[in-house]
Structure 1
């Protein structure tokens, strides 16, 4: 992990405190040495906590910082050895086994010498730290605790998920004006078949925002059936660039790797009027070498829109140029308001405007600066005193590390807690062109130990909150196509993050030479490596590495020697290295005894692996996967009509049966050879091709094999017809099963219950997710009368199980807090869940008709359930949210078709009238229904009874807000005269 010093010291201090109280420490006879080191650390921690705010933005790295950080890494290593050897003493009732540790300055040649040398090492670290302490700044009186301990640094009312954190893109009036001028010009027919337009401006000034507004404008989509967006900042090769456009236009690339063939495909793909956006273009070479001739000679007319910092690029492409200038004060204030709280009423804004304008002025008309400062203000709430604290923050006057980065970005970074700083810095270890997968990212944070459990939540839940918080602060941006992926919001933010961790991380692209100036690099990322490292890593550098990630670097053999010598490696991530031409020998991993996190995606090409996971006492996070089916093959099938697909599939079944059997046997063999250690806490099994799960994850002794397993994810195990007896996992808290296509029923075998067993199935399970189980029809939770099932389950998600006929009857005994059911197209009713309390979320359940007997439910969300006609027995309901997408034209009620543009259905009227405790009603709908809820409309008599109402149109442009007690009535959706 890209360690933030004060957080790193606190983790080491906590680890030392814990170890000092363990029997292993006493068995080694080093209690006094450990407590002496602990006392020194506590003094240093107080100084560092006070200095971190000042030091983090200093252009100069103090020598003592490097020395303290190196000492923390040494302490981390020493503790690992102590825990291993101490555990051996306690287990054997005798002295430790002699062992050589290559990363220490001593060799362990016997029990007594081991105790002497480990004690000497601890005392030596203590002595060096006390010498460093003399060089550190003095701690002012009364400054023993940092601000981090006093303030909850998370946004108030933290969003539950990243989709909630994704606010609609807010733009200032200048952007709206620019769109109003540019779009008509781009629609106007010219003499050229392909006209080029350019948005030119300084870095971070809002070029991409303007381009995105044009790209999403209804007039553009109506006139240009093909719209493609290409991010040019991602170092695309010419072939990847062409493939991106072809796929974006909806065509199939196939397996073509020839530029001339791709150019032909490009001309064919752009067969209709097209809009092509090239965002952040730095050179006209793409235009000159690839697009000018191939598109200019075509039959179809189109528009190319580029954004660039270099006006010469636009000029050389003979583009119509639009310059983007800094935002004026009023536009900056409007953007700030929208980013902080788009629903803030005018009275609240009036009290904040004077200080808000001053904050916006400090952002110097820079949209990126305004957005990141809005992220801070959002965490403070609409309090004038808090806003004034941000305005007067001394970080505005600190000397920046990079002059091109707006001062507001530094203010935003300094405002983060130490844990959030580490999470953000870690994101910069990923190459810019690769999206960061949310699930993998939060697991990495947990594996590195930087996530603190909040409010007795699961670590995974706390890590998700970290992720959402970074999105809320506009430091991470979810991918527009999927909330499961994200990017660092802007390359200026990435530049700052890379600068802040430059002293301990290396990122190498292609055959770029290794930076050997770092004597002790801790993190190494290799991207697009085709051969071995051009500049070899010295033995000293290898020994200090803590994390290694490979991206698009299929020649794994190039780093075999590195893996053998990097004995301190904690994190090995080969998740993006899934195109290796050769099988890899997993036994090469056996030397990595300090691993905490291991991620491998190509087990089907492994040649052996019997000892790969042996001697891994600290391994807690394990992600194992085979290759997923080739995307291009899927595209080929999608392009065929149904008859051709059936013929192709039949031919493959007859010709490929033997190959399939061989593949299945090979898959089962390699997986069965692997035996994860008992230390595993998080396990992911993905793309397993066997018909039976590996022997180590099934059977009556499953609980003994995984005594510490907390999180389990079974994904794309498509051939397995039965699930393992996962109810035997006594510590399991979170379970996700997805794409188990062959599972038809889930019964007692899943719980692991037998007549002779009285154990409680899933005794600690809190979160259960069943996703994309296409054939699942029945699910039973039947147990003996004396048994309790799922006693701790709080959250249940069932998504895209289209054949599931009913929820299990045993669910009525479970004290659920949240239930989410989506895409269950055979489910007709949800009833008799007397203990469901917090939220029921229903989405796209095509035949759902009845909801009844949920007496404790407080919040109900219904999204596109068009057959619903009966809702009753929700006596405790306080919050109701309904979403009706534009495609929903009619709803069914008592065999009559009720047009929502006319009135609410009867079930909704009755629900509003009977639920006396209903406090908040939210509705997303068409404009006609929205207007029917206004004063004088057909539904006003129902709406006015509810204390708080918020209604928004499907396109997000029209709204209605009503608060009965505060006498708020605001709308921009009045009927047009």
Structure 2
């Protein structure tokens, strides 16, 4: 074995009969990743050269690269690093990359779990047992307290901590004063969520060692003046505060690297000295009322992540000019782009030159309401405004290597030119594309289908798009398939989209797994059969949707408020069906045409009561073939208070709906059956001759009396004919139904 290894070490690739240079790519990924790996071929070949062509070295590096994401940033980092030794270099240039590696490793080891409501694993949750373990590791150096624990905890008064985390919110919140914390003179980290009473004279003077400060829902104004005294502060996060200002001397915090001001709606401007923070790497301004930035903002040349930057015009000066020198940006979001008067002003941002940029968000102020129509105060969008925003977005061309782009509030009639088929080169590394609030856009650019790495495409609130079809499915020239790597597709708020044209000959989306369709007018989803890899389908408030069919690999189907749905078929692999509709009166018949293993149903209380009748009820035959059923309804304003659970084998049926409620529902159905068979609505009109009503009612009831023995007692008209009812009684449907119910319940008792 040693001889074999030695042989490999001394045999360069050029002379190895069984290992060719191109085989390195095969060691990295499987064959179905070939189109994507080819994009990284240039880096791969440079990695091979760095190993001096030795097969064993290439094999080792190939194994290492299999653990990396197929992104240029990850591969480039390995190329620039000390590869053979595998050492990590924690220089100031790559701290964010190292941070991401640690974050990914925590996920891989199941220590934290990604929240599926966020893309790209932006938010994670920690398991309770992991949290408890971390707390124990801290030992006596840290204190974590919640609400009443704060007031009852003597340690807060006596012990000295390095890390302190306090959550003081809700009904059980403990009244706490800022001065009670000032004994903690050794604090390096302070995290406070909830209100703490501050008074004039309170300050940060006691916290001279503080490096991390996170304050949520605290009025900072009383202590803000002393913030400059935190000479060692690296991390400052102020969330959901009504503070109206930051101290003007914040520039004295020379070591500050992180500032987040999210949710501070009363904050309208930044202090001028913020440009002095040469080490600042992170700045979040979204969720504030900041609309301008100081002229010295361009001095923040160490910034890696900047969110909520406001685009603003002041005479001939555009705030985008301040972005020009910020060449180290990795993530950037810009708001209020409708304020930019010309494309020449937008060019000053120099986005195309920011080679490290991986995430870009371009936003205009929304002009659409939640119902996807123009808000009332908008008088329409002029052709001049449409043309101007199109010109601005055309010149904000992103750099090569961009992985995630978000566009919001764009009101141009066409999307930017760099999304067209002839100009998609800047987006060749794009993984995620989300577009929201496209108020005037009439069609989607065909260039999107050319993106070789795109995995998530989301388009929401696009009311002007009426047709989506072949223009979106132009195949990629290299692999002959449209959207070759798309895994998740989301369409929502396309309220005029009524038809989709998909040719069977067009190969598209071979790896698509999740498809979401919300608030569209499509009637059929039967043309998805060529997307045979779809395993999750969500349809939400599609009022015209009637049919879903031919999805052979579909495992989970979610249907929410689609009242016209009539047909489900061609989904043999279906495992879970979630159905939510609080207006439907009966269980849909289409359930009999599919055979999911699990059914989750959220419905009205009246329908759930009917389901609770079990085998004797009218709904049983529609769901009895399903292995496991869980049905819920809201009662007394408590969500899912009432339930029915059913298991087919071994049989089990449970409900917390009372027997009397089920009996009342059964009698109500009997009455409704008669009402539909013997319609006598005219009898319930008031103001007519009562004796004539009696005669008509008696004749009708005699004709149908054989249908129900209790009809002669249930109908008050008939009873009035026998001098039982009052001649002045107001004959309404509610009165008749109420009397019928009382009579039936009396009989049962």
Please indicate, yes or no, whether the TM-score normalized by the shorter chain is above 0.5. yes
Superposition pairs of residues 231-246 of structure 1, within 5 angstroms:
none
Pair 1:862-2:579 in alignment: yes
SS at match of 2:278: helix
The counterpart of 1:766, out of the listed 479, 482, 487, is 487
Alignment match, 1:609: 346
Superposition pairs of residues 522-533 of structure 1, within 5 angstroms:
522-525=257-260, 528-530=266-268, 533=271
Change (3 A) 1:549 1:728: same
Superposition pairs of residues 351-750 of structure 1, within 5 angstroms:
376-377=127-128, 393=136, 395=138, 397-400=140-143, 406=149, 502-505=233-236, 509-515=244-250, 518-525=253-260, 528-530=266-268, 533=271, 536-537=273-274, 539=276, 541-549=277-285, 551-558=287-294, 560-562=295-297, 564-574=298-308, 577=310, 584-607=318-341, 608-612=345-349, 613-629=351-367, 652=379, 660-702=382-424, 704-725=425-446, 726-750=448-472
Partners of 1:511 and 1:713 lie apart in 2 by 33
Change (3 A) 1:962 1:514: farther
Alignment match, 2:552: 834
SS at match of 2:385: helix
Partners of 2:319 and 2:135 lie apart in 1 by 58
Partners of 2:286 and 2:134 lie apart in 1 by 42
What RMSD in Å do the two structures reach over aligned CA positions?
A: 5.3
Partners of 1:815 and 1:605 lie apart in 2 by 44
SS at match of 1:400: strand
Alignment match, 2:473: 751
Change (3 A) 1:523 1:23: farther
Question: TM-score under structure 2 normalisation?
Answer: 0.56
TM-superposed CA distance for 1:832, in Å, is 2.2
Alignment match, 1:884: 603
Alignment match, 2:510: 791
Unaligned runs of 5+ in 2: 1-42, 53-76, 99-104, 119-124, 154-164, 170-192, 195-213, 221-226, 662-749
TM-superposed CA distance for 1:925, in Å, is 2.9
Alignment match, 1:261: none
Partners of 2:487 and 2:593 lie apart in 1 by 26
Partners of 1:409 and 1:818 lie apart in 2 by 49
Partners of 2:413 and 2:545 lie apart in 1 by 29
Partners of 1:706 and 1:509 lie apart in 2 by 40
Partners of 1:798 and 1:859 lie apart in 2 by 18
* Contact 1:744–1:776 (CA under 8 A) maintained in structure 2: yes
SS at match of 1:618: coil
Alignment match, 1:153: 111
Alignment match, 2:568: 851
Change (3 A) 1:858 1:619: same
Change (3 A) 1:625 1:538: closer
Partners of 2:457 and 2:237 lie apart in 1 by 35
Partners of 1:678 and 1:546 lie apart in 2 by 22
TM-superposed CA distance for 1:77, in Å, is 9.7
Change (3 A) 1:409 1:662: farther
The counterpart of 1:814, out of the listed 525, 528, 532, is 532
* Contact 1:924–1:953 (CA under 8 A) maintained in structure 2: no
Partners of 1:966 and 1:391 lie apart in 2 by 43
* Contact 2:522–2:545 (CA under 8 A) maintained in structure 1: yes
1:433-478 residue CA offsets vs partner (Å, 9 max, x unmatched):
xxxxxxxxxxxxxxxxxxxxxxxxxxxxxxxxxxxxxxxxxx99xx
Partners of 1:39 and 1:392 lie apart in 2 by 32
Pair 1:923-2:631 in alignment: yes
Change (3 A) 1:579 1:829: same
Partners of 1:75 and 1:19 lie apart in 2 by 21
SS at match of 1:815: coil
1:109-133 residue CA offsets vs partner (Å, 9 max, x unmatched):
xxxxxxxxxxxxxxxxxxxxxxxxx
SS at match of 1:664: helix
TM-superposed CA distance for 1:810, in Å, is 3.9
* Contact 1:585–1:609 (CA under 8 A) maintained in structure 2: no
Change (3 A) 1:618 1:717: same
Partners of 1:844 and 1:397 lie apart in 2 by 53
SS at match of 1:587: helix
TM-superposed CA distance for 1:733, in Å, is 0.3
Change (3 A) 1:905 1:794: farther
Question: TM-score under structure 1 normalisation?
Answer: 0.44
Change (3 A) 1:600 1:390: closer
Partners of 1:505 and 1:390 lie apart in 2 by 26
* Contact 1:763–1:791 (CA under 8 A) maintained in structure 2: yes
Partners of 2:442 and 2:508 lie apart in 1 by 23
* Contact 2:457–2:490 (CA under 8 A) maintained in structure 1: yes
Which protein has greater RCO, CA pairs closer than 8 Å, 6+ apart? 1
- Paired residues, number: 504
* Contact 2:418–2:426 (CA under 8 A) maintained in structure 1: yes
Partners of 2:323 and 2:82 lie apart in 1 by 35
TM-superposed CA distance for 1:766, in Å, is 0.2
SS at match of 1:672: helix
Alignment match, 1:824: 542
Partners of 1:20 and 1:405 lie apart in 2 by 61
* Contact 1:685–1:715 (CA under 8 A) maintained in structure 2: yes
Unaligned runs of 5+ in 1: 1-17, 43-70, 80-146, 163-373, 381-388, 411-424, 433-474, 477-487, 639-647, 654-658, 892-897, 928-951
Alignment match, 2:702: none
The counterpart of 1:804, out of the listed 522, 532, 547, is 522
* Contact 1:709–1:731 (CA under 8 A) maintained in structure 2: yes
